């Protein structure tokens, strides 16, 4: 059963979360993500709480998730920075929840109302230590809705915090979408708090007992978590690939910027990962068909490093920073970088 | 009573130094929980980081050892989602009043039904004896060699300013501490027990106390009980009105 509705990107995230059975939301107002919280406080099926900051919001998710909730928060870059310690804790305690980052121009306060993709690296490397988050980045209001549901399921399957990247353009974009009923939801295996004898800690631990000075135990734990995250991530290795036999250049793009690249499909082949991390392995085979690979992103060149590692060769980096989605400028710069190199 | 049923006996002995006050507080909490019939099916323990931050992990309840300063929001997440669970939060002055100070005052303002026990030893013990938010003015620490120059954190003021439950006791006054915990655990909102405790290794030893008992004797003489007071003076302990 599907229903058509005109919806804003941030609202689609909220609706997707409700469809995914979310019961707890904690957040702090921030441009351009505030609509998610504003939308959810009106919904009786969700306990949506405005906390004093993003640190407490993400930590409340850890507690609520351990207590059995399907939990989510939504923020933007400055708040996402504050959430990093809670994300690390969520990984150590293997706690499922979803974090939506509606990216804006940074660093720091930057340009709050303008979109960016500057958190692509922070999404996977923002917290200290080794952890392997699953990160999605849709490019339409419909996809925001669907990938919010996927993010909840991936969180349950991996028992870890899953990141859903959005951006100021997508978050405020209105499009007609199809909502779903009877969504298939993954169930939690671990019983909620109230069993006894279990100890959830940020310390490296074995069988509910901290082992803070056992290198072998730590290596085993990290290897297990890495394998688990790869395995679950591989189930969601979603991407869009527009092949082009006449083109010698493959353009890699994602999120709102990919919407501006799509009209250029007559000139270039286009690869759009929807799962950013763990990186999509199939990409290396696709990239072999093209002489040049350009990674165009609204940052100074973050995901290009991932792309190069997958291909094991050099890619061209085309930064489109500044928050203006200028299609003509993008077209010009793509032409310039592919002819100049 | 059967203390072992409340403890992760496989984890004993604790990691705490001989003479530490954490064990006294742990025992008092177990006794209070026992009196109320709280058990692993209806109770969760939460701690932050520090010596007293290890307390949660010694309970046989499901327990959470949060990151530094964030025990309060983690506990709020539990309580907001599962109001029927009793949540006992034990942590130190650095964790609750320093790095977690903002969460503390907002939880008090929201009046979330948490039972917060502050083990206040006036020092950062685990990290070696640095100045804490509650270190008294003029007290020498390894980061304040000329004596702490800042006014100590007024935790009573912060909690009571928002109309929440506040009681103060010490590890010497164990019966009074029990009374404070009973009242706090029964309180239907945010309840805070400020338990003055001793750190022998990284505080008392440097201040001239020869033994843990010397520090307890100090509590005995320095504080007098004044239950029912609107506001406790610095040399008073009690359950405030």
DSSP per-residue letters across A160-192: SEEEEEEEHHHHH-EEEEEEESS---PPP-SPP
Distance CA A8, CA A176 (A): 9
Contact check, Cβ <8 Å, A56/B60: no
- B216 φ, ψ to 5°? -65, -40
Question: What pLDDT, on the 0 to 100 scale, is given for residue A296?
Answer: 98
Q: Which residue of B has its CA nearest to A23?
A: B81
Taking a C-beta distance cutoff of 8 angstroms, is the pair A209, B74 a contact?
A: no
Smallest CA-to-CA distance from A61 within A18, A19, A25, A10 is with A25
Domain boundaries, position B165: 3-239
Report chain A's terminal Cα–Cα distance, integer Å: 50
**Radius of gyration of chain A, Cα coordinates, nearest whole angstrom:** 20
The Cα of B73 is separated from the nearest Cα of chain A by a number of Å equal to 5
Helix (H, G, I), strand (E, B) or coil at A258: helix
Taking a C-beta distance cutoff of 8 angstroms, is the pair A163, A195 a contact?
A: no
Q: How many CB atoms lie within 10 A of CB A332?
A: 11
Question: Which of A23, A55, A57 minimises the CB distance to B81?
Answer: A23
Look up residue B96 and give its two tokens.
């609750």
Q: Using a CB-CB distance cutoff of 8 angstroms, which residues of chain B are in contact with residue A69?
A: 77, 81
Interface test with B, best of A199, A208, A210 (most B CBs within 10 A): A199
Interface test with A, best of B5, B69, B77, B85 (most A CBs within 10 A): B77
Please give the domain boundaries of chain A with CATH numbers for all domains.
2-235 (3.40.50.970), 240-340 (3.40.50.920)
Contact check, Cβ <8 Å, B70/A192: no
Angle between helices A54-66 and B71-81 (to 10 degrees): 50
Number of CB pairs, chain A paired with chain B, less than 8 A apart: 132
Q: Are β-strands A71-75 and A97-105 bridged in parallel, bridged antiparallel, or unpaired? A: parallel
Question: What pLDDT, on the 0 to 100 scale, is given for residue A315?
Answer: 98
The C-alpha angle A29, A30, A31, rounded to 5 degrees, equals 135
Angle between helices B101-110 and A54-66 (to 10 degrees): 70
Taking a C-beta distance cutoff of 8 angstroms, is the pair B63, A196 a contact?
A: no
Render each residue's pLDDT in chain A as its tens digit; 341 residues. 578 999 999 999 999 999 999 999 999 999 999 999 999 999 999 999 999 999 999 999 999 999 999 999 999 999 999 999 999 999 999 999 999 999 999 999 999 999 999 999 999 999 999 999 999 999 999 999 999 999 999 999 999 999 999 999 999 999 999 998 888 999 999 999 999 999 999 999 999 999 999 999 999 999 999 999 999 999 999 999 999 999 999 999 999 999 999 999 999 999 999 999 999 999 999 999 999 999 999 999 999 999 999 999 999 999 999 999 899 999 999 999 999 87
**pLDDT under 50: residue ranges of chain B:** none
pLDDT in tens, B194-229: 999 999 999 999 999 999 999 999 999 999 999 999
Can you give the CATH number for the domain in which B24 is found?
Answer: 3.40.50.970
Contact check, Cβ <8 Å, A68/B81: yes
Look up residue B164 and give its two tokens.
């929440």
Q: Using a CB-CB distance cutoff of 8 angstroms, which residues of chain B are in contact with residue A82?
A: none
Q: Give, in order, the Cα–Cα distances in Å from A213 to each of A131, A209, A216, A222.
A: 19, 12, 9, 15
Q: What is the pTM of this model?
A: 0.97
Question: What pLDDT, on the 0 to 100 scale, is given for residue A1?
Answer: 58
Give the total number of structural domains in chain B.
1
DSSP codes of every residue in A20-89 = TT--EEEE---TTTHHHHHHHTT-TTSEEEE-SSHHHHHHHHHHHHHTT--EEEEE-HHHHHHTHHHHHH
pLDDT in tens, B129-145: 999 999 999 999 999 99
Looking at every residue in chain B, the average pLDDT score rounds to 97
Look up residue A38 and give its two tokens.
């504003």
Burial of A336 (0-12, 13-18, 19+ CB in 10 A): exposed
Half-sphere exposure of A150 (CA within 13 A, CB side): 23
The Cα of B128 is separated from the nearest Cα of chain A by a number of Å equal to 18
Q: Does B15 touch chain A (CB under 8 A)?
A: no
- In whole angstroms, what separates CA A252 from the centre of its chain? 17
Contact check, Cβ <8 Å, A195/B63: no
Tell me the residue length of chain A: 341
Q: Which residue of A has its CA nearest to B105?
A: A52
Q: What sign does the dihedral B17-B18-B24-B29 (CA atoms) show?
A: positive
Contact check, Cβ <8 Å, A56/B103: yes
Tell me the residue length of chain B: 241
Contact check, Cβ <8 Å, A59/B10: no
Helix (H, G, I), strand (E, B) or coil at A317: strand
Distance CA B152, CA B174 (A): 25
Distance CA B214, CA B219 (A): 9
Contact check, Cβ <8 Å, B41/A196: yes
Angle between helices A54-66 and A84-92 (to 10 degrees): 20
Contact check, Cβ <8 Å, B64/A66: yes
Secondary structure element (H or E) that encloses residue A295, with its range: strand A292-297
Smallest CA-to-CA distance from B89 within B116, B69, B64 is with B116
B residues 18-47 lying closer than 8 A (beta carbon) to A: 39-42, 44, 46
């Amino acid at each position: 059963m599907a229903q058509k509705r005109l919806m804003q990107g941030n609202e689609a995230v909220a609706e997707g979360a409700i469809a995914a059975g979310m019961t707890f939301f904690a957040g702090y107002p921030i441009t351009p993500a505030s609509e998610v919280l504003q939308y959810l406080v009106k919904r009786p099926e969700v306990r949506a709480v405005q906390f004093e900051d993003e640190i407490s919001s993400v930590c409340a998710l850890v507690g609520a998730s351990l207590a059995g909730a399907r939990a989510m928060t939504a923020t933007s870059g400055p708040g996402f920075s504050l959430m990093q310690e809670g994300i690390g804790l969520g990984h150590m305690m293997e706690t499922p929840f979803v974090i939506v980052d509606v990216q804006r121009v940074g660093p720091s306060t930057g340009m709050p109302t303008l979109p960016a993709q500057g958190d692509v690296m922070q999404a996977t490397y923002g917290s200290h230590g080794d952890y392997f988050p699953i990160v999605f980045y849709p490019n339409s209001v419909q996809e925001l809705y669907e990938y919010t549901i996927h993010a909840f399921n991936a969180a349950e399957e991996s028992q870890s915090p899953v990141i859903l990247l959005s951006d100021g353009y997508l978050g405020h974009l209105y499009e007609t979408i199809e909502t779903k009923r009877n969504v298939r939801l993954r169930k939690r295996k671990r019983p909620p708090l109230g069993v006894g004898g279990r100890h959830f800690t940020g310390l490296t631990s074995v069988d509910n007992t901290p082992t803070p000075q056992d290198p072998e135990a730590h290596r085993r734990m990290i290897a297990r978590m890495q394998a688990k995250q790869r395995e679950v991530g591989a189930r969601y290795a979603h991407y869009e690939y527009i092949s082009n036999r006449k083109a010698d250049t493959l353009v890699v793009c994602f999120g709102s910027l990919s919407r501006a690249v799509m009209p250029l499909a007559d000139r270039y082949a286009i690869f759009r990962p929807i799962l950013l991390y763990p990186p999509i392995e199939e990409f290396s085979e696709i990239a072999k068909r093209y002489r040049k690979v350009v990674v165009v992103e609204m940052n100074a060149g973050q995901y290009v490093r991932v792309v190069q590692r997958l291909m094991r060769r050099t890619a061209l980096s085309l930064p489109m920073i500044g928050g203006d989605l200028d299609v003509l400028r993008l077209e010009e710069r793509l032409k310039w970088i592919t002819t100049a190199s | 009573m059967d203390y072992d049923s409340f403890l992760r006996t496989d984890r004993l002995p604790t990691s705490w130094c001989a003479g530490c006050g954490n064990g006294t507080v742990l025992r008092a909490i177990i006794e209070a929980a026992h009196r109320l019939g709280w058990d692993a099916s209806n109770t969760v323990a939460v701690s932050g980081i520090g010596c007293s931050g290890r307390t949660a992990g010694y309970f046989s309840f499901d327990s959470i050892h949060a990151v530094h300063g964030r025990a309060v929001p983690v506990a709020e997440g539990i309580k907001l989602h599962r109001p029927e669970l009793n949540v006992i939060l034990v942590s130190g002055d650095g964790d609750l009043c320093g790095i977690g100070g903002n969460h503390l005052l907002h939880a008090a303002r929201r009046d979330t039904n948490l039972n917060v026990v502050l083990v206040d030893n006036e020092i950062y013990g685990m990290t070696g004896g640095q100045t804490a938010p509650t270190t008294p003015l003029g007290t020498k620490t390894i980061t304040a060699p000329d004596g702490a120059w800042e006014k100590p954190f007024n935790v009573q003021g912060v909690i009571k300013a928002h109309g929440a439950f506040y009681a103060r006791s010490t590890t010497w006054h164990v019966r009074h501490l029990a009374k404070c915990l009973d009242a706090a655990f029964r309180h239907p909102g945010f309840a805070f027990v400020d338990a003055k405790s001793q750190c022998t290794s990284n505080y008392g030893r440097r201040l001239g106390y020869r033994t843990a008992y010397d520090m307890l004797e100090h509590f005995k003489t320095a504080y007098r009980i004044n239950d029912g007071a609107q506001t406790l003076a610095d040399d008073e302990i009690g359950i405030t009105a």
